[in-house]
Structure 1
Amino acid sequence: MSLEANASPIQVLLVEDDEDDFILTRDCLRSIGPRRVVLEWVANCEQALAALESGRHDVCLLDYRLGSMTGLELLQRARQRGWHGPFILLTGQEDDTIDHQAEEAGADDFLQKSQLTPTLLGRSIRYALKHARTVQALRGSQESFRELIERLPDGVSVQEGDHLIYANPALVTLLGCSSREELVGQSITALGEKFLQPEAWVELQHDISESLRSGCPIPPRENRVLREAGGHSLVEITQVPMMFDGKPCLLWCVRDLTERRQLQARLLRADRMASLGVLAAGVAHEINNPLAYVISNLDHLETSVLPRAELSEGSRREARELLSDTRQGAVRVSDIVRQLKMFSRVDEDARPESVDVHRVLEMSIGMAMNELKHRARLVRDYGEPLAVEAQEGRLGQVFLNLLVNAAHAIPEGHVERNEIRVVTRAQGSEVLIEVHDTGAGIPEDNLERVFEPFFTTKPIGVGTGLGLSICHGIVTSFGGRMGVESRVGKGSVFHVTLKAAAAARPAEPPRTPVKVAAPRRCRILVVDDEPMIGMAIRRTFQRDHEVVTLTSAREACERLTGGECFDLILCDVMMPEMSGVELHQELSRHSPELAERMVFMTGGAFTPKARTFLSQVKNRRIDKPFSSQDLRSLVDPAPDAGTGSHSGGVL
């Protein structure tokens, strides 16, 4: 069996007692291809054993927790009843102990449901089926043993006495040897000392002695093997006593875990990036709410309260200076929040669009400045305004990573001697972005490997070796290129080349304002679950307009659909119970004229539904934090209001 389009469908048995997890697994299998997989679902162990005894299934996917019995116990019972097909264990938790138990019990793979994707599941099934076919053939015929292990993807060797008498091509490739003659005939001691680190070889020697004494296989052990040409690979080593050509020998199986670990690391990083994006959006939203009424109240204090206060000129001047300093601090917080919001908008599936290069660079510099300022002077060598085809959040990740890497290449102190230079240039139909540093540089031997996953020149425990690999993947996904030049002791230059775009995406699409005939005293409704925001807006408008504040969109909906009328409705987008989006939808059905008078207040943390809605609706939007002037612009008429034109405001 295989997952190829022209192969017979794979018969899969899923043992799962949770319907939601069944749907998750079913959808992953459907994504592989509806004609390639036939799925049968059972919910308990007795049904599973009966189904397996029928012999019609190629592979079994089973949950780790199945009521009173675990998936491992079911696996053992099925083996005892004679079913030798492949098992893939599914679990809802990350547990190295369960992973180890699954391997000892004979499961072919161990997958976490939270990281389950069609690619990962399809690859696991392919490997399980391939491995199952190999085991079945080995069990059926000793004569075909050599041919089979010659084709195995895992490295296999046979030890007789203290010498290796056989090695398959996969092992030769795995160890980086040019031919099997470099291995066959060599003593196990010499090979162990050559391809394993000293402490790992000492432990393996102990296992060999115990295996020879007891006649039992060595349990699977993970090690790093040193390759002939340099570098290393993470492998799983298993040893089994057996007969080979009629003689007692030891069979060694060496499985390369590099690809599996890389995939797991990418999935884990993707999950963490998604979590960080949600966290960043949530933090930005929570900061923007109090920041909105802080800035609005500062404006009100300066423009309305302070002029009426009975203060000496010196005290009044001091108060204005304090207000100015406080406002500057609030604006700095607002800038930081705006940077967080940009990095929270990372959508892997979004299509590239026109992005302002200098805007994204400035956001990234703001995020990295704490790392930069203690190590080097930052120099901006920007060309003309540039736009590229990319995604703003993901491009920001690339720039941020390059800036932080440049900073880490330079030791702290001596800022005046070091420089990090950011260069942008147009090159025909492309845009070049470079990050120069005067750091330690990269040895020439390592330059070709800097974009490889897990390769790092940083000390153990400091870097994962994934940053540049992920940056390279992001840039190439945009149709761009990434390169590096470096000299030890002189510094490095990282190049990013992207397709030029016609123009940068506007920060916000134009909104169609609602117009009335002439300026007048208005009724304004404010709907926000943060009471302090309503109070701040009330202070701004209360001298000239009637203001009603509510903290519940549901209550607002009841009043508006019940016949109460307002000239302007300021409404938060994200609220519990009923959102601003849902309020607009209700009003559009019952009172379309009121729906047109809504202006949305946003602090970020949008759901995909809210983001799509805001991109399509014609109503205006005001971002938190906002100033009193921003609010007044919504109701103040344009200078030529007397002629009936009101394009400067909503009312």
Structure 2
Amino acid sequence: MRLEADTPPIQVLLVEDDEDDFVLTRDCLRALGPGRVKLEWVSTCEEALAALASGRHDVCLLDYRLGAMTGLELLQQARQQGWSGPFILLTGQEDATIDHQAQQAGAADFLEKSQLTPTLLGRSIRYARQHARTLEALRRSQESFRELIEHLPDGIGVQQGSQLVYANRALATLLGCASVDELIGHSLSTLAEEFLQAEAWTLLRDDITQALKQGTPVAPREIRMMRRTGGHVLVEITQVPLVFDGQPCLLWSVRDLTERRQMQARLLHADRMASLGVLSAGVAHEINNPLAYTISNLDYLETNVLSRLELPEGARGEVRELLSDARLGASRVSDIVKQLKLFSRVDEDSQPEPVDVHRVLETSICMAMNELKHRARLVRNYDEPILARAHEGRLGQVFLNLLVNAAHAIPEGDVERNEIQVVTRNEDSSVIIEVRDTGVGIPEDLQERVFEPFFTTKPVGVGTGLGLSICHGIVTGFGGQMSVESRVGHGSTFRVVLNAAAAARPAEPAKASEKNVASRRGRILVVDDEPMIGVAIRRTLQREHEVVTLTSAREAHARLLAGEHFDVVLCDVMMPEMSGVELHQALASGAPAVAERMVFLTGGAFTPVARAFLNQVKNHRVDKPFSSDELRELVRRLVGT
């Protein structure tokens, strides 16, 4: 049987120590056709191994008897040296034992020399080459599949009987093992004792029974697994019955849920912060309204009413002291509202901007003081005023978390012996903020994990393990860095490194003072849905100006479009039915000169539209609660222009 005419020459190595047998084999190969086979003959095992090492042969014809060595022994050595091509064993006698040994050794065929013909030898060579190509394709497929499994991000294990017979690298890494050899060959019960709690193992054993009984995968189950290196990891385990290496088994797919939980936690945190931002701005608006007219009325009471009362001098001084205390209390309420607004500000989409680091630190300290004062003395070690590129609200969240964590690292009851130090400094183009405590410290082997999601050194139920992870994400989002240094029994230092910001622009020259502004009685319109705000402003301005108060922006819109003249329109931003924003927009198209004379009163803009409007509009703005003197000065200046 001839080989096809278009096939390339076959490179054949013949290992034969008998010249007559060489001639027999050569003649059979020549009969296959001219140029179809290129034969190389060697007679010793050493020559054979050297020739095979060259890698140029397609098939090897191998005599069974080679002096002191058999062809099968030579075959084994060649395989060990890396030659994977096909062998055909040639023997001088029919022997079923040799035939079986040849098959076991991986020979492609076994031929008797006495029966050798060109047709038989050609068919055997063609089969051997095809078989070798098939085996090579299977080998590559198996290696590719193994490579795929080995590089899966999910942990994969195969249980056969009660033992783990396969594990990929991801599973070993997930469990904190140095290699898969630490897992393979162990019984499931032994591994469960180390990596699972008893309750979890009971649930998984029930799943194993169900999967094997029904022959179908069971529903994924979330389990907390222990790690050999310490700590734990939340995983999702799926068990699938299949046939592995010809035997029924159970495949375990173990997926790390840390990243998913981290993302869910971040989304939940972002949602809570957004909700808190809306809520606190609304609360601030509701607090600032009564606070505004309370402070305004206190000012009016002291400057205009008290002077007209006939009181003994001692009583007059007592009243002044009471008024001063009341103003101080109102001012403290105002500061608390400002702090709440700072920490709930929604600025996720805005770009980092210059932030006064010390101002944010002081606000954070005020918020954390109840946690700090019972545990340690607070020491400030500030450098000169510094600006960093960040978001004020989110940076405040980082500082607050670090301060509270520092406090929680110190037991209560020994304030004088413990210290929390806040340090700031400039280094080149960076701003460094450190929060140092004299608390219990963090073990060295755990320090590299403190910024991991869900990792916490606090007792179960006390912390979520997300605070430092979120802070780390905030700081790196600014383009900064966050690190920790700690010694057990000596405390910890958490360090935040931010990009320094350029100095703020110099303040604009002060507006013309009261003495330089022409005194003229103006006509003022106050639009605020809180009646007491209008009353307080009228009391403040009525000696110098005519003041009209309205609680409806729609009524104000109608009167202004009708041509009624006002020198200044003091208007609240957030009102029902028609807001100050909507009133300005309506006047900008119908009476633009009036829109330019609007001054916005705001106790907190808690909608995106209102915030965007106040950031863009060029009109003057007065924050509630306002100072009576500042309001009079602003109105006097606007009326005089």
1:106 alignment partner in structure 2: none
Structure 1 CA distance, aligned partners of 2:311 and 2:258? 73
Identify the residue that residue 402 of structure 2 maps to in structure 1: 402
Paired residue type of 2:566:
F
Larger Rg: 2
1:151 and 1:428, CA in 2 relative to 1: closer, same or farther beyond 3 A?
closer
Show CA shifts across 1:381-430 (max 9, x none).
11111111111111111111111111111122222222111111121222
Q: Give the structure 2 partner of residue 525 of structure 1.
A: 525
Aligned to 2:302: 302
**Which position in structure 1 is the counterpart of 2:581?**
581
- Give the distance between the partners of 2:517 and 2:147, measured in 1 at CA: 90
Q: SS at 1:524's partner residue?
A: strand
How far does the alpha carbon of each residue in 1:165-190 deviate from its partner, in whole angstroms, 9 at most, with x for none?
23334333333333333322221211
- Give the alignment's TM-score, normalised by structure 2: 0.73
CA contact (8 A) 1:280 1:343 kept: no
- Does 2:494 match 1:494? yes
- Cα 1:596–1:210 shift into 2, 3 Å: closer
Given the superposition, is the C-alpha separation of residues 532 and 282 from structure 1 closer, same or farther in structure 2, using an over 3 Å criterion?
same
Alignment-derived partner of residue 445 in structure 1: 445
User: What residue number does 1:254 align with?
Assistant: 254
| Pairing 1:594–2:599 present | no
The residue correspondences of 1:558-637 to structure 2 (distance < 5 A) are 558-636=558-636
Query: Which residue is equivalent to 2:327?
Result: 327
Instruction: Mark the runs of 5 or more structure 1 residues left unpaired by the alignment.
Output: 1-140, 638-645
Question: In the alignment, is the contact (CA less than 8 A) between 2:278 and 2:607 conserved in 1?
Answer: no
Q: Note the 1:185-204 alignment, pairs <5 A.
A: 185-204=185-204
Q: CA deviation at 1:297?
A: 0.8
The more displaced of 349-358 and 254-263 is 254-263
Determine whether 1:182 maps to 2:166. no
How far does the alpha carbon of each residue in 1:306-334 deviate from its partner, in whole angstroms, 9 at most, with x for none? 22223333332222221111111000001
The residue that corresponds to 1:173 in the other structure is: 173
SS in 2 for 1:462: coil
**Cα distance in 1 for residues equivalent to 2:161 and 2:261:** 34
CA distance in 2 between counterparts of 1:163 and 1:443 reads: 36
Tell me, in whole angstroms, the C-alpha distance in 2 between the residues paired with 1:470 and 1:237.
27
Contact kept in structure 2, 1:482 and 1:496, CA below 8 Å: yes
Query: 1:359 offset after TM fit, Å?
Result: 1.1
Contact 1:486/1:493 (8 A) holds in 2: yes
For 1:269, what is the secondary structure of its paired residue? helix
Work out the CA distance in 2 between the residues paired with 1:603 and 1:249. 68
The answer to whether the 8 Å contact 1:512/1:620 transfers is: no
8 A contact 1:360–1:392 mirrored in 2 = yes
One-letter identity of the residue aligned with 1:610: A
Tell me the residue number matched to 1:461.
Answer: 461
Q: How far apart are 1:210 and its partner, in Å? A: 5.3
Q: 1:420 to 1:142 in 2, by over 3 A?
A: closer
Contact 2:258–2:453, Cα closer than 8 Å, also in 1: no
CA-CA distance at 1:209 after TM superposition:
4.4
Structure 2 unmatched ranges of 5 or more: 1-140
Aligned counterparts, 1:99-138, within 5 A: none
CA contact (8 A) 1:437 1:493 kept: yes
C-alpha distance in 1 between matches for 2:143 and 2:606: 64
Partner of 2:427: 427
**Shift of residue 223, structure 1, vs aligned partner:** 0.9
Report the equivalent of 1:549: 549
For 2:511 and 2:345, locate their aligned partners in 1 and report how far apart those are by CA, in whole Å: 22
CA distance in 2, matches of 1:516, 1:589: 34
What CA distance in whole angstroms lies between the structure 1 residues aligned with 2:469 and 2:507? 30
**Which amino acid is 1:467 matched to?**
G
Equivalent residues in 2 for 1:316-355, closer than 5 Å: 316-355=316-355
Q: State the secondary structure of the residue aligned to 2:463.
A: coil
Q: Write the distance in 2 (CA, Å) between the matches of 1:276 and 1:510.
A: 37
| One-letter code aligned to 2:364 | S
Asked if 2 retains the 8 angstrom alpha-carbon contact of 1:386 and 1:504, the reply is: no
CA distance in 1: counterparts of 2:267 and 2:195, whole angstroms: 30
Tell me the distance in 2 between the aligned counterparts of 1:424 and 1:487: 21
Which of 317-326 and 162-171 deviates more?
162-171
- d(CA) in 2 for partners of 1:273 and 1:509? 38
Shift of residue 550, structure 1, vs aligned partner: 0.8
Whether the 8 Å contact between 1:378 and 1:421 is mirrored in structure 2 is yes
SS of corresponding position for 2:388: strand
Looking at structure 1, the residues matched to 476 and 556 of structure 2 have their Cα atoms a distance apart, in angstroms, of: 49
Contact 1:293 1:536 in 2 (8 A): yes
Please give the alpha-carbon distance, in whole angstroms, between the structure 1 residues aligned to 2:425 and 2:631: 39
**Using the alignment, how far apart are the partners of 1:150 and 1:424 within structure 2?**
48
CA distance in structure 2 between the aligned counterparts of 1:338 and 1:617, rounded to whole angstroms = 22
Q: Determine if contact 1:376/1:414 at 8 Å carries over to the other structure.
A: yes
One-letter code aligned to 1:487: R
- Partner residue in 2 for 1:49: none
Q: Which moved more, 1:249-258 or 1:480-489?
A: 249-258
1:434 partner amino acid: E
1:248 maps to a residue whose letter is: P
TM-score for both structures, normalised by structure 1: 0.72
Q: In 2, distance between residues paired with 1:482 and 1:144? A: 41
Structure 2 contact 517–636 (Cα < 8 Å) conserved: no
**Matched-pair contact (CA < 8 Å) for 1:513–1:650:** no
SS at match of 2:380: strand
Contact 1:511 1:619 in 2 (8 A): no
> For 1:219, what is the secondary structure of its paired residue?
coil
**Judging changes above 3 Å, is the alpha-carbon distance between structure 1 residues 241 and 472 closer, same or farther for their aligned structure 2 residues?**
closer
CA distance in 2, matches of 1:442, 1:509: 52
Q: Which amino acid aligns with 1:413?
A: G
Q: Distance in 2 between matches of 1:199 and 1:215?
A: 24
Quote the residue 1:365 is aligned against.
Answer: 365
Change (3 A) 1:321 1:143: closer
For residue 630 of structure 2, what is the amino acid of its counterpart?
Answer: D
> CA distance change for structure 1 residues 590 and 219 in 2, over 3 Å: closer, same or farther?
closer
| Structure-2 residue corresponding to 1:380 | 380
1:223 partnered with 2:244: no
Instruction: Report the count of equivalent residues.
Output: 501
Deviations 1:467-500 (A, max 9, x none): 1122122222222222222121221111112222
In the alignment, residue 460 of structure 2 is paired with which amino acid?
I
Residue 495 of structure 1 aligns to which amino acid in structure 2? R
**Once the 2 structures are TM-superposed, how far is the Cα of residue 225 of structure 1 from its aligned partner?**
1.9
8 A contact 2:163–2:185 mirrored in 1: yes
**1:545 shift after superposition:** 2.0
Q: Take 2:500 and 2:151, find their aligned partners in 1: how far apart are those partners?
A: 48
SS in structure 2 of the partner of residue 449 of structure 1: coil
Q: Secondary structure of 2:635's partner?
A: coil
When residues 206 and 483 of structure 1 are mapped into structure 2, their CA distance, relative to the original with a 3 A threshold, is: same
Question: C-alpha separation between the residues in 1 aligned to 2:278 and 2:640?
Answer: 32
Letter in 2 for 1:604: G
Q: Which residue of 2 aligns with 1:436?
A: 436
Shift of 1:528: 0.7
Say whether 1:237 aligns with 2:237: yes
Contact 2:207–2:239, Cα closer than 8 Å, also in 1: no
CA distance in structure 2 between the partners assigned to 1:152 and 1:451 by the alignment: 25
Q: CA RMSD in A?
A: 2.9
1:350, distance to aligned residue in structure 2 (A): 0.9
